[in-house]
Chain A
Amino acid sequence: MKVKSPLEVYNLLPRTNCKECGYDTCMSFAAHILDRSAKVIQCKPLVEQSEKDPKAKSKLEKLLDITAPEIAEIVIGSGDSAVKVGGEEVLHRHELTFFNPTAFFYDVWDTLDEKKIEERCEWVAKYRKFYVGKYLTLDGIAVRCTSNDPSKFGNVVKKVASYGKPMVLVTLNPDCMKAALEEVADKKPLIYAATEENWREFLRLALEYKVPVVVRSSDLDKLKSLAVTFKQAGVKEIVLDPVTEPVGEGLKRTFERVIQIRRTAIEGGDKDVAYPIMVTPISAHLINADDVTKEYWEAVIGGMFVVKYADIMIFHTLKQHVVMPTLTLRANIYTDPRTPVQVEPGLRPINDPKPEDPVFLTTNFALTYYTVESDLTSAKIRGWLLVLNTEGICVEASVAGGKFTASGVKQLIEQTKIAEKVNHKYLVIPGLAARLQGAIEDETGWKVLVGPIDSGRIKGWLEKNWPPKK
């Protein structure tokens, strides 16, 4: 956003400290607007005033303008499943955070057999992967027109729309695109793509159907010209595709184009390229190689541009060795570095445990905790989970770094009064903390059992080791 100091925001607020926004003071509200944890329209008095008073209105508009994100934020799809792309502020996540995770779209094509289309849509719509306390999901479906037949494309697009996911419509043929928009324009699909050749027809479609549009060119002067022309004509929701060349010099140039666009938008302040960027890892399938090589390379292109500035992607492969690593990377890169990923230390009863059930120990690093907790819960294991404060560091690093200590474990046992809740004195510690077995026994007087290295294996481990042999 344009403003750098909360004072600039504060000066445009009512400065009454009315607390209606949920913050104690207008200054505090201003600070939250600046780090984007609050929105200007949360200031009810200002919004209400602006409906009556043109002066207030102009203040509100100015506020909205100066606090708008550096990169335009656009919405694809409608309803609950709609996905926001762009809206970024910085080049490096530690400078603030990245906001809207790269939206992942997976393709179907209109000459694919109907059954297969259904299977692919179903897979995308139902996909989930547990990660740090929640499920990661996929964002939408890209429908490619390979038939060059408007009515066929329209029909397939309509069918895909029934899955309720946001869509990207892929064809350079304006007639095919029009047929599809006739069916699903109200679902607000992203249309792909306006080029140097077809831009006039695509501009008409974007305006007529009020849908976001991708402009596409590997020549950045041309790409910018397209964006400027579309903006001038009244299109607000624009995505830039600098063309993904999947190998060799071409991929090197793609890397350069993507970085130059984003850096020039944010550091150089060039508003004409301050739009979300599209990258197409699906292009990896143009390489002349075996399937696994193509799929790996698709994951590589995906990974490269999740790190470097792509806001939206089209993938082809619906296999976990492509989906899982890219999706996990996206979750990592878009994790807000400002919030510590820790959970409260203490005692968590799992599945309503009894006094004879085992006591497990883990760290308060959110990722470790949620992994262990969900493994125990889902394997229907009854037990007591002790969560040690390692300052949000994982087992291996906290053991090495001295945050996971026998005295810390002793304190935790005392504080949680776990001894009063169970009828034994056996503590199961993580396999990666094995070296602390003796120290913890000495310090606490409990008998320490070394559990598996991965909590996914606790079930099998318990079968052999619990109840403990005396």
Chain B
Amino acid sequence: MIKLAKRFTLQEFLETLKKYNVEELEGVKIEGDLEIEFEGSSIDLSAVAPLYAIISDLSNFLYHANMALSYMQRLSSVLGIPMPFAVQPAVSAAPPAPKVEEKLKLPEKLLEAKFTPYKVEYPGKVEEVVLGATRADGGTRDYTIKLGGEKSLAFYMFDSPQPNLPAIAIDVFDRPPALAKAVKMHYEDVLTNPAEWARKCVKKFGADLVTIHLVSTDPLLENTPAREAAKVVEEVLQAVKCPIIVGGSGNKEKDPEVLEKAAEVAEGERILLASATLDMDWERIANAAKKYGHVVLSWTQMDINNQKTLNRYLLKRANMPRNSIVMDPTTAALGYGLDYAFTNMERIRLSALKGDEDLNFPISSGTTNAWGARESWMSESPLEGDTPWGPRELRGPIWEIITGLTLSLAGVDLFMMMHPTAVATLKEIFNTLGGKNTAKIDDPNAWLKMEV
């Protein structure tokens, strides 16, 4: 009996192969620890020796399943051990100890495969809400803005065409607000004149709409009477011919009265009244909207269930028409809770598409909140450990852009913003994803070799 210098067991061999995830070996049954010995003269040792060398050195180069399997098969045929998988023709001559180059059996051709995109169709649809009214509809606006109407996730044009791209409103205040320097510099000349301010937003910065915030009505500030504040609304309606949004001060007691007056002076203009909340007299605001033909912004604090509740109240108790509600589920700045805002809005939109009729309304975002993030306005990091923050003039607008971009992907239909560059960039993004931007470059591979 001739024995190999070093014996090995089939079990060891199989274990080694298993390290390489040879799944096909699952069916192999080994009874006991079978020892393989070579006897007699039927085997040419010169043929077995290199094989043995290969096996004992498996971990060095047998690293893919097919290779391992083919060696296994060759071995089995040489040794005459039956294998449970399809046996290949016996290898007549012993293979030479392969070099790496030969071992890598590269396919000659690409394996053709077809990519079939997974199709998604939702049963639900977001309500389409019109802001503004032209003369034909009893208003004095030059044009109207349509929000919503989606049957798919934002910009998923491959699922379903998106009837309306998001619209952008620029904020105007009835008293000079505290603003980051980078924002303020663009409005310095109009801070005390809301009508001029509104005009600048439209003419110079391309706003689709303007929002006039009647902040001075706050009892803790000037406590401007509602009737007087409403005059500013009239001035703005005179100054610009785009649809407008009117905001209160956020004071729960005063806002219903202020928005009621604003609704009255803007009768027929189909303005958006911002906002009705759960902890105020939302019914009074809804009634004013119905009476004078406006739309209500339903504002909740990042809570999908509260959003559902308030919408139901507006629909069922105040009998608001379905085409007259927009939601503001609250916007948090990039780095300061944007994840909550994004996920809350994304969940709301997915619910709408899946058919939840308490949530299928267009979404609005107070994107100006991005300027609350210190990264957008602070001249340098207050922390010594940070890599220096770089010029804030460039950080601020991009903070507003990325906040807006992120929420647009969650489904926001209406953005309330402030920095002109941020407004222009978001418009560019919407037009691009909406298929309205024809710009192109010659060669998308060129960056691989560019020397800058």
Is chain B found bound to chain A in the same assembly? yes
29 A-B pairs with C-beta separation under 8 A: A54-B29, A54-B30, A61-B23, A128-B385, A129-B386, A130-B383, A200-B107, A207-B104, A221-B114, A226-B110, A246-B441, A250-B441, A263-B120, A272-B113, A273-B115, A286-B441, A286-B447, A286-B450, A288-B441, A299-B401, A300-B425, A304-B405, A307-B409, A328-B334, A332-B334, A367-B336, A397-B302, A397-B332, A457-B382
A123, B117: Cα distance in complex, Å? 41
Number of residues from A at the complex interface, CB < 8 A:
115
Question: For the complex, what is the distance from the CA of A261 to the CA of B12, rounded to whole Å?
Answer: 41
Binary contact readout A293-333 vs B (1 if CB under 8 angstroms, 0 otherwise): 00110011001100110000000100111101110110111
Contact with B along A253-268 (1 / 0, CB 8 A): 0011001100110011
B interface footprint on A34-65 (CB within 8 Å = 1, 0 otherwise): 00000000000000000000100110010000
- B402 pairs with A303, CB closer than 8 A: yes
Determine the residue in chain A with the shortest Cβ distance to B393: A321
Inter-chain CA distance A252–B436, complex, in Å, is 10
B378 at the interface (CB under 8 A from A): yes
CB contact between B301 and one of A207, A255, A328, A401 (< 8 Å): that residue: A401
Stretch at the interface among B155-163, B167-175, B206-214, B258-266: B155-163
Which residues of A sit under 8 angstroms from B26, Cβ to Cβ?
58, 61
Which 3 residue pairs are nearest across A and B when measured between Cβ atoms?
A234-B64, A268-B118, A456-B382
Secondary structure at chain A's binding surface: helix, strand, loop or mixed?
Answer: helix
Residues in A neighbouring B435, C-beta threshold 8 A? 249, 252
| A252–B398 CB distance below 8 A | no
B374 touches A456 (CB 8 A): yes
List which B342-392 residues lie within 8 A (CB) of chain A: 342-343, 346-347, 350, 372, 374-375, 378, 381-391
Specify which chain B residues have a CB less than 8 angstroms from the CB of A18 in the assembled complex.
none
Q: Most chain-A CB neighbours within 10 Å: which of B301, B339, B434?
A: B339
List residues of chain B with CB within 8 A of the CB of A455.
382
Residues of chain B with a CB closer than 8 A to A171's CB:
448
Query: What residues of B have a CB within 8 angstroms of the CB of A457 in the complex?
Result: 382
In the complex, the chain B residue whose C-beta lies closest to that of A322 is B398
Residue of B nearest to A264 (CB): B118
Report yes or no: B387 in contact with A320, Cβ–Cβ below 8 A: yes
Interface string of A370-385 (1 = CB under 8 A from B): 0000110011000000
CA distance A348 to B386 in the complex (A): 23
Say yes or no: B117 contacts A333, CB within 8 Å: no
Q: Which residues on the B side are within 8 Å of A378 (C-beta)?
A: 382-385
Contact for B158 among A199, A204, A260, CB less than 8 A: A260
Residues on B close to A: CB < 8 A? Answer: 18, 23, 26, 29-30, 63-67, 100, 104-107, 110-118, 120, 155-158, 220, 250, 279, 301-302, 330, 332, 334-339, 342-343, 346-347, 350, 372, 374-375, 378, 381-391, 394-395, 397-399, 401-402, 405-406, 409, 421, 425, 429, 432-435, 437-441, 443-452
Given contacts A228-B113, A256-B158, A300-B401, contact A454 B444 (CB under 8 A): no
Whether, in the assembled complex, A405 has its beta carbon less than 8 Å from a beta carbon of chain B, the answer is no
Smallest CB–CB gap between B359 and chain A, Å?
14
A464 beta carbon closer than 8 Å to chain B: no
